[in-house]
Amino acid sequence: MVASAAILHVDLDAFFVAMELLRRPELRGRPVVVGYLGERGVVSTASYEARRFGIRSAMPTSRARQLCPKAVFIPPDFAYYAPASRRFHAILREFTPLVEPVSVDEAYLDVAGSERLFGPPLQVAEAIRRRIRDEIGITASVGIAANRLVAKVASDAAKPDGLLLIPPGEEAAFLAPRPLRDLPGIGRRTAEILTGLGVRTIGELAALPLAVLEAKLGRHGPELQLRARGIAPGGVTALPPERRSISREHTFERDEPSRGRLLATLLRQAERVAEDLARQQRAARTVVLKLRFPPFETLTRSHTPGRQLLFAEELYAAASALFDAAWDEHGRQPVRLIGLGVTGLAERARQLALGESPAPAALQQAVIDLRERYGDGIIRRAAELPAPGQCPPR
């Protein structure tokens, strides 16, 4: 049975810039960049006029200024953007409870069960775009397909202010002419390996002999080939409208080459995320690792172990395993940014397993109490202590 095209990927167009243009309409048509200036400042969002000069998200603002000296640079105002983001997600939930937010400005929806109320997926997508335009004053692009992967590529292809439906059975043909880096999951390192094989497009990747992919990319090769053919398992995971994730990130003053310091930073982040979970009496389903390599490639990796996650040790164990795999894949390059997050938050309902000690929970609560009373720096693990002459990670 062929799956219907009922997965939507909805993405607000240049969200931060679009919000700034609402209060500064005189800037419409000009290259506008939202991002902090300074030595380590990066671009959060660039208008489509600015993108014509080669400016992209996560690029240093210093480089953006070189590419387009006449661009208007605006520091982010997240407090101003937040209400619009909440309204955006609220609009989506009026059409289906199966909404999986990805960030403040994008989400996946499964509208297979909404047809009797709102019509077929294409009609739902048009209604969502109209509501966003009328109620928030900005535009959104939507991709529709039978799975998340193709819906995401379709929404990117539809930008800005567009809508694209990929009928079931046409996924491979849609992806085939697109450049390799348009396929989610292909980072710089993987793209370099494939380019070395003469592969330039997603279709050429799909046509490569499987033995070649396995030899060059190991276990990742067969999965990547399936994705290149538009085959991707996994549906939309509905998440509640309340806070959906907790995370910590750290950007290093200089790109960090030391595995020891990177893991120490990750451990500190695991501690803080676990404390936030405990304060909220929540548990997590998925651990997410975020890494940024020079020049400015950002990747995320996640792991869902199938049980509730509560404590720093288990968050760190999952995140450090993800880190080692991703770091090896990228040739152990120095790291510019590292982050640990958790998603799939729910009320704590985990029972102690046979032989499991209650000590981690008691220790965690004791650390929380000490930090709340005396400050964050009152107690640290030895691994968190900086080497001589280094600043501690935050």
Active-site residue list: 106
Q: Environment class of residue 84 by beta-carbon count within 10 Å: exposed (0-12), middle (13-18) or buried (19+)?
A: buried
Are the CB atoms for 283 and 246 separated by under 8 Å?
A: no
What's the rounded Cα separation, in Å, for the pair 11 and 138? 11
Angle at 223 between CA 221 and CA 225, to 5 degrees: 70
Residue type, 44: S
What's the rounded Cα separation, in Å, for the pair 290 and 338? 6
CB atoms within 10 A of CB 8: 31
What's the rounded Cα separation, in Å, for the pair 165 and 155? 9
Q: Cα-atom radius of gyration of the chain, to the nearest Å?
A: 22
Residue type, 289: L
Write the CB contacts of 64 (distance below 8 Å, at least 6 apart in sequence).
33, 35, 43, 46, 50, 55, 71, 73
User: Which of 18, 248, 262, 240 has its CA nearest to residue 133?
Assistant: 18
Q: Dump the DSSP string for 354-374.
A: TT--SHHHHHHHHHHHHHHHH
- How many helices and strands (H and E) does the chain possess? 15, 14
Residue 11 is inside which H or E element, if any?
strand 7-12
Report how far apart, in Å, the C-alpha atoms of 243 and of each of 90, 226, 343 are. 13, 33, 9
Are the CB atoms for 301 and 187 separated by under 8 Å?
A: no
Q: What share of the chain is helix, strand, coil (3-state, %, to 5)?
A: 45, 20, 35
Q: Environment class of residue 356 by beta-carbon count within 10 Å: exposed (0-12), middle (13-18) or buried (19+)?
A: exposed
